[in-house]
Amino acid sequence: MRQFQCEECGKQAKAYGDRQDRARFCSRTCRDAWFLKNAKCRITCTVCGKRAINTNPGARFCSRKCESTGRRGSNAPNWLDVPRTKTCAHCGEEYGPGSGGITHFLRGKFCSRECSRKGQKRLFGESNPQYRVDARRKNRGGIYRQWQIAVISRDKATCQKCGRTGVEMHAHHKEPWRDHPELRFDVANGETLCCHCHWDEHSTSGANGVNSGEPVPGGAGGNPEPSHDRKVVEGVTTRGRAYRRIETNCEWCGTFVSKPLSDTKGKRHLFCSKSCSKKFFWASQRRLSRGDDGSGQQQLL
């Protein structure tokens, strides 16, 4: 604690903690009164036009309220002098900046997400400027993945050469991808091969192969115990990467389905196609509308 004399009123005051070395006034009232008398910078507020005293020579406002008003809109330091209204490219209505800010508004063309979904131009295939005829990887998550799942599911995840199961399976093109572009996504042109047979089919050296792909007597392959109706198959790919796959039956038509585990995450039901998924959905809706819980008994509404 340090005792000191107030420079405004002359009263004795006490200072504690980190204020001991810099305390000069006994209260804020005395501090403000001293600054009004001794401050040498007189300014004119750019908002209200009042004359004020400030210790900062570059000050432009007389109070916090005027400062908040003076730094808003066109008076803001980063204000962009651009039009604040645009016409939606889909519905034709005028709209202004939203919560995304002015930069998001300048880049956008639509007034809402709904207009963006309906009005944006999507370039597929040859109309896309980045389209390449032989770019095989661009289809990994789309039509190529669907073709791969269809081939492996049709063959019940069983190698068509050696009969192995429970190991990494590949969808192999009977007619080469490069020479027959018209048959690239034809399911009849595909066959299921295990990783080893696929290696041999393309005359590739097995130096980078893995030992965990070898089948185990009984077809276990080191897999975990299967669930009630979904069998999880896991192992290591020929590139040394882990893989996991689900083997089950379509819940509508009963067709065997083999899909990557990532495609089934968070899904309560699995189907072989969108057609079966829609049929299952509408059947469930009809049961709910009748008050049937699936056990054959009507619920009391």
- pLDDT for the residue 168: 81
Average model confidence (pLDDT) across the chain: 77
* Range with lowest mean pLDDT among 136-140, 165-169, 215-219: 215-219
* Range with lowest mean pLDDT among 65-79, 135-149, 158-172: 135-149
When pLDDT is averaged across residues 273-282 and rounded to a whole number, the result is 88
- pLDDT for the residue 62: 82
Q: How far apart are CA 263 and CA 246, in angstroms?
A: 9
Q: How far apart are CA 26 and CA 291, in angstroms?
A: 78
Domain ranges of the chain: 2-70, 86-117, 140-210+229-288
- pLDDT for the residue 205: 41
Task: Say what percent of the chain tops pLDDT 90.
Answer: 9
Question: Which two three-digit tokens encode residue 81?
Answer: 């002098």
Q: Which of 66, 67, 70, 38 is nearest to 54 (CA)?
A: 38
Please report which residue ranges of 71-220 form alpha helices under DSSP H. Answer: 102-107, 113-119, 143-154, 195-201
Confidence of residue 101 (pLDDT cuts 50, 70, 90): confident
Residue 172 neighbours by CB under 8 Å, 6+ apart:
190, 191, 192, 193, 198, 201
Could you report the per-residue pLDDT of 54-64, keeping only the tens digit for each? 767 678 888 88
Rounded to the nearest angstrom, the gap between the alpha carbon of residue 16 and the centroid of all alpha carbons in its chain is: 53
Helix or strand or coil: residue 265? coil
- pLDDT for the residue 191: 94
Taking the CA atoms of the chain, what radius of gyration do you get in angstroms? 37
Confidence of residue 16 (pLDDT cuts 50, 70, 90): confident
Residue pair 299/293 in contact (Cβ under 8 Å)? The answer is yes
Task: Say what percent of the chain tops pLDDT 70.
Answer: 79
Please report which residue ranges of the chain form alpha helices under DSSP H. Answer: 28-38, 64-70, 102-107, 113-119, 143-154, 195-201, 274-290
Q: Which residues pair with 191 in a beta bridge?
A: 172
- pLDDT for the residue 219: 41
pTM of the shown model: 0.38
18-22, 50-54, 76-80, 189-193: range with highest mean pLDDT: 189-193
- pLDDT for the residue 287: 82
Q: How far apart are CA 102 and CA 233, in angstroms?
A: 51
Confidence of residue 232 (pLDDT cuts 50, 70, 90): confident
Q: How far apart are CA 286 and CA 299, in angstroms?
A: 14
Could you report the per-residue pLDDT of 121-134, keeping only the tens digit for each? 878 778 888 777 76
